[in-house]
Copies of this chain bind each other. A is one copy, B any other.
Amino acid sequence: MNIGPYSFDEFIEKIKVFHGSIAPGIVAGGIMVDIARANLPQGEFFDVICESQHCLPDAVQLLTQCTIGNRWLKIVDTSRYALTFYNKYTGEGIRVYLDAKKLQEWPAVRAWFLKEKPKKDQEQQQILNEFRRAGTSIYSTAKVTVKPSYITSPGKKRSSIGLCPSCAEAYRTDLGETCPACQGKGPYL
């Protein structure tokens, strides 16, 4: 099977280079991207939501022009292994998820997905082989509409930038009198 413009094995190589290791979750993610695309109207502009921070966003970044830095890819972490491609103006889209109910015949994928065994006891090659053989059969889809906060509204006001009176760095002034870091929300001790 192919994943995006790549053969299965080429995609594995792409994963290794970008992600630093062959994560089976990105293989699943690549297949999910293809399913989402096949279910979208041709030529439509879409944004993507990933419901997991793990692996899935890298599949989207490898196979689409949606990245975390251009914000066409958003992460809304529900911890479910699902992604949604949606029309960025109407919010209508297609959600694709790895379906735990469809894994009876795929023990290695099941053990990986549900963490039934410690990582060290899992056979990566077996998981990859099962993903390849299972093709698109272990995923489900649903039509969804995303909440308005994820929709691009053409009249949206640009936020203005000012210097934080506390740290003197530039920040979005709609976030408060000082920047979020000086409000105690930064990552440092």
Contacts and interface: CB of A to CB of B under 8 A. Distances in A.
Interface of A: 18-21, 23, 26, 49, 51, 53-59, 61, 65, 67-72, 74-82, 84, 91, 95, 97-101, 113-115, 118, 144-147, 150, 158, 160-161, 163-164, 167-172, 175, 179-181, 185-189
Contacts of A75: 68
Of A82, A97, A167, A169, the most chain B CB neighbours within 10 A belong to A169
B58 A179 contact: no
A39 to B, nearest CB: 16
Given A20-B67, A53-B71, 8 more contacts: A51-B181, A53-B69, A78-B179, A79-B172, A80-B164, A80-B169, A80-B179, A81-B170
B70 A23 contact: yes
A72 B21 CA distance: 12
Number of copies: 2
Given A77-B180, A144-B188, A180-B79, A67 B160 contact: no
Given A84-B187, A114-B170, A169-B100, A53 B68 contact: yes
A72 B71 CA distance: 19
10 contacts: A19-B70, A51-B187, A54-B69, A54-B71, A58-B68, A78-B185, A118-B158, A144-B189, A145-B188, A146-B188
Of A76, A79, A114, A181, the most chain B CB neighbours within 10 A belong to A79
